Amino acid sequence: MASFVPSSILPTDEPAVIPGDMHPPVDLPEDLSRFRDKLSTYLKEEDLERVCAAYQFSADAHFGQFRISGEPYVSHPLAVAETLAGWHLDTQALCAALLHDVVEDTAISKADIAERFGKVTAELVDSVSKLDRLEHQSYEEAQAENYRKMLLAMARDVRVILIKLADRLHNMRTLDAVRPDKRRRIARETLEIYAPIANRLGLNPLCRDLQEMAFRHMHPLRYQVLSKAVKAARGNRREVVGKILQAIEQRLPECGIEAQVQGREKHLYSIYRKMRDKHLSFSQVLDIYGFRIIVKDVPNCYLVLGALHGLYQPIPGKFKDYIAIPKANDYQSLHTTLIGPYGTPVEAQIRTTEMHHVAQAGVASHWLYKDTQSLPELQRKTHKWLKSLLDLQSASNETAEFLEHVKLDLYPSDVYVFTPRGKILSLPRGATPVDFAYAVHSDIGNRCVACQINFEPMPLRTELRNGDRVEIVTAAHASPNPAWLSYVRTGKARAQIRHFLKTRQNEESSALGERLLSRALAELGFSPGMVDDSAWERFLNDTGVRSRPEIYSDIGIGLRLASVVARRLMARDDTLQHAVHNVASVLIRGTEGVAVKLAPCCQPIPGDPIVGMIRKGQGLVVHTHDCQTLAKLVGSKAEWVDVEWEPGINRLFDAGIRVVAQNVRGVLAKLAAGIAEAESNIINVSMEEDDGATTAIYFTLNVSDRQHLARILRSLRRIPDVVRIARVRETTRN
């Protein structure tokens, strides 16, 4: 059987075993020496020897294997481990990095690694290893399932993703050996998944490197053109940049501030993204240079800000205080944009040495700078985000759905809003009060009915802005609205809404299916109590279904016919003649919602003669007996069900009416008054001109039943300006 490699394994990861004489891998004295030098700066001698043993184990395991680029395969795990050594990761992670492809590409097992290097290292190797593609039915499934495994392993141990990111970094650096179509696919994966994860973990230099390389491979021509343009601009603007740098270095000592000033050039992908998002030409992107000013403490950050604003005029709205309100990855800095010489925009970042450490190494600061004071807060935020991945996992039944939710949460959070108690929440740009509610707590989101933004009632679909104060109004019996899915922005909100709706659909479908099966059994002359456990067990074994509720749910949504299930449970075949014994109709309450739907084509209300129809995947749909859509479905593969309204229904239904009235002043007010007099509420109103003298007005009203609608029609007919009036359904109007 042929093996198949999942999408996240780069082709440069695939070893090429050279046939014939198997020569040992080429020694890598320079790389190995550099690696040992890095390790010796922070590892004890016994730990260093253990890592070297892992290297030798990996070299032996990959004996005779070469990368597509022609290098000995062991050069890849060595490069990955060297990146981790730059972050001062521990011995277990370094060993796992050196061994991360051994289980997948050689005959070595996880148990072999556990025996030689310990259980923790073996678990890390297993978490980083890719899944067997043969388990999945498609390329997309394998890709999504691989990401899912990686992200959930990361939630348990953040070292998993650090190894994976270092792995992706080296693969991107050696991507030129791969054919162009694969390069573009891999570059897209890097931009969509790996670079955002690096950014979310605060690994900003790594994130920028991945973005630059992905941009070069995904859009090679654009990269070349932009690179040439930046080089040309670099010469033209060198004098301006030098003048600004000199002015800043002169002003700060005058203000008694000790600082380190660094000039920096924006990365090509950052410039490209700005041009693309804001529809600018390169000549319009003036701020391709920026300055970073590093001081000893927070008070000096604000002193530098004052000095810069005194030196050059700040651009209004271009100041951001990430010190008072850190980003989600704990990035802290002051950002300001100034008007420099000759009108050139100048971007400046001001931060402390400690903030700079965190900005450069992010979550890896835990190993790299163990004396950094802000690490507990960084660890808390990272742990909270990783825990949210497990929450998304529990709320997402499908792998692709889980990946969609994670991608939503990987994009930077740009909007900062306040709870009524003054707590700051960070949300993605475009987030709504529904996102806010779920960010506070899942129960708040599920019971949300309204909101107040800055003490004013606002729609739930309102986009939040920086500084908004948001208060959520809840109700005990409220539930998520499916329409929320069209405007929520966070993965957590989307996952929780879908999870609630699926759970409710399963519960309602199961209840409906049980009622339909009882009815089918009654047609055969039996009751549900007469079906013994052995009959159920035999049926479940034959169908491969785990439980009765699943059978009920399948019946409720039309995947199984109740009559067929009833016959199989009672061991009856389709040719058996039977009598109908007091078969009861299915009662419709109008509150079922998901499993039982009132057809929008005819809008049935209590009092209308109705009929039910079960179609595959749709559940029970209730139509009026004279529905035009229903007539078209006669002869289709659907199960027809006798239904009737439950007596004493106490709820309101939507009903449409069409009123043709004289085109005179005040007629709409008279109609609204007549509707209110008949104790109804207007849900929607629209108008279209019939001719010059009359206007057709369409109302959607709340009614309790057919008699209530008749009272409304009588009330409106008494208005002298009304010419014609009738009930309409959606099909009638269309």
**CA angle, residues 355, 356, 361, in degrees to nearest 5:** 100
Do residues 639 and 677 both lie within one domain?
Answer: no
Residues of the domain holding 287: 221-373
Rounded CA separation 158/148 (Å)? 14
Which residue, 207, 243, 249, is CA-closest to 364? 207
Residue 461 placed within a domain: yes
The residue behind tokens 């000759």 is 342
Once rounded to an integer, what is the mean pLDDT over residues 24-46?
Answer: 72
Q: Which listed residue (13, 82, 101, 105) is catalytic?
A: 105
| Average pLDDT rounded to a whole number, residues 310-338 | 86
Q: Does the residue 4 lie in any domain?
A: no
What mean pLDDT comes out for the span 501-528?
A: 77
- Minimum mean pLDDT range among 533-547, 549-563, 667-681: 549-563
Residue 122 and residue 92: Cα distance in Å, rounded?
A: 9
Both 75 and 185 in a single domain?
yes
DSSP per residue over 478-512, as a string? ----GGGGGT--SHHHHHHHHHHHHHHHHHHHHHH
Residue 578 in this model has a pLDDT that exceeds 60: no
Strand order in the sheet with 448-453: 456-458, 448-453, 470-474
Q: Indicate the range of 50-59, 594-603, 622-631 predicted with least confidence.
A: 594-603
Range with lowest mean pLDDT among 214-223, 323-332, 436-445, 548-557: 548-557
Q: What is the CATH number of the domain that holds 670?
A: 3.30.70.260
Q: Domain for residue 1, yes or no?
A: no
Q: Which of 544, 514, 546, 543 is nearest to 531 (CA)?
A: 514
268 & 368 share domain: yes
Asked if residue 301 and residue 256 are part of one domain, the reply reads yes
Catalytic residue, candidates 82, 104, 330, 639: 104
For residue range 116-142, list pLDDT tens digits in order.
Answer: 999 999 988 888 876 444 344 556 666
Residue 703 makes CB contacts below 8 A (sequence gap 6+) with 605, 652, 653, 654, 655, 680, 709, 712
The answer to whether position 594 is within a domain reads yes
Residues 640 and 720 both lie in one domain: no
Banded pLDDT at 167 (limits 50, 70, 90): very high
Strands 586-588 and 643-645, by their bridges, are: parallel
Is 5 a domain residue?
no
Rounded distance, CA 655 to CA 512, Å?
25
Q: How many angstroms separate the CA atoms of 384 and 389, rounded? A: 9
Q: In whole angstroms, give the CA distance from residue 363 to residue 547.
A: 45
pLDDT by residue (tens digit) across 43-88?
888 888 899 899 889 888 888 888 887 788 888 999 999 999 888 8
The total of other beta-carbon atoms located within 10 Å of residue 149's CB is 19
Tell me what pLDDT residue 237 has.
Answer: 67
CATH number, domain of 420, equals 3.10.20.30
The long-range contacts involving 409-416, CB below 8 angstroms and separated by at least 24 positions, are 409/200, 409/385, 409/490, 409/491, 409/492, 410/193, 410/196, 410/197, 410/199, 410/200, 411/196, 412/199, 412/327, 412/328, 413/327, 413/328, 415/464, 415/465, 415/466, 416/325, 416/466, 416/467
Domain termination residue (choose one: 498, 522, 544)? 498
Is 546 part of any domain? Answer: yes
Residue 88 sits in the same domain as residue 20: yes
Is residue 159 in a domain? yes
How many domains, in total, are found in the chain?
5
CATH number of the domain residue 152 falls in: 1.10.3210.10
Residue 10 has pLDDT above 50, yes or no: no
Helix (H) or strand (E) holding 45: helix 45-61
**Residue 193 and residue 75 share a domain:** yes
What SS3 state is found at 396?
A: coil
Residues 270 and 369 in one domain: yes
Q: Which of 36-40, 41-45, 106-110, 280-284 has the lowest average pLDDT?
A: 280-284
Q: Which long-range contacts (CB under 8 A, 24 or more apart) does 246-249 make?
A: 247/311, 248/291, 248/293, 248/308, 248/311
Q: What percent of the chain has pLDDT over 90?
A: 19
Higher pLDDT, 439 or 628: 439
Say if residue 527 is in the same domain as residue 558: yes
Identify the pLDDT of residue 404: 62
- Do 58 and 99 meet the contact criterion of CB atoms below 8 Å apart? yes
Of 193, 217, 241, at which residue does a domain stop? 217
**Average pLDDT of span 663-676:** 90
pLDDT band at 40 (very low <50, low <70, confident <90, very high): confident
- Is 104 considered catalytic here? yes
| Phi, psi for residue 587 in degrees, rounded to 5 | -85, 135
Quote the pLDDT of residue 716. 93
Q: Are residues 494 and 528 in the same domain?
A: no
| Residue 362 within any structural domain of the chain | yes
CATH of the domain at 236: 3.30.460.10
Do both 433 and 319 map to the same domain?
A: no
More confident residue, 291 or 413: 291
Among the ranges 83-97, 317-331, 474-488, 631-645, which has the highest mean pLDDT value? Answer: 83-97
User: Looking at per-residue confidence, does 65 or 635 come out higher?
Assistant: 65
Higher pLDDT, 577 or 523: 523
Predicted pLDDT of residue 452:
93
Given pLDDT bands bounded at 50, 70 and 90, which one contains residue 575?
A: very low
- Which of 251, 271, 272 is CA-nearest to residue 261? 251
pLDDT at 471: 93
Higher-confidence residue: 634 or 637?
634
Residue 90 shares a structural domain with residue 171? yes
> What is the pLDDT, as a whole number, of residue 96?
92
Which of 645, 674, 690 delimits the end of a domain? 645
